[in-house]
Amino acid sequence: MSQATEIAPETTVVPAPLRAGPLGPWAVIVHNDNLNTFDFVIRCLREIARLEMNVAIEKTNEIHFQGASPVTCTHREHAELIRERLNGRGLTVTIEPA
């Protein structure tokens, strides 16, 4: 005798949104200043935040014309590392929960 096996329909599991916290998203925000050149900021964003050239240019324009720009979102420890490295290059950077 064979017994019929019922196959459950496929279900999609949607992960819960990340919340700000040690593992949640933190925004790295670079602020405008009158000291650093566009080329220098672009180079820093590419080297430290690992942005593509076109994104680094776009973010640098936002920083200049809007006063600040969130350049990346990541977990807190990585955001702090990026902030410290950019601060070390003379940029004004803050982090905040995204």
The amino acid present at 21, given as its one-letter code, is G
Sign (positive or negative) of CA dihedral 74, 78, 80, 85: negative
Q: Domains of the chain, with CATH numbers?
A: 26-97 (3.30.1390.10)
CA separation for the pair 59, 96 (Å, rounded): 17
- For every one of its 98 residues, what pLDDT tens digit does the chain have, with 9 covering 90 and above? 556 556 555 655 555 555 555 677 999 999 999 999 999 999 999 999 999 999 999 999 999 999 999 999 999 999 999 999 999 999 999 999 99
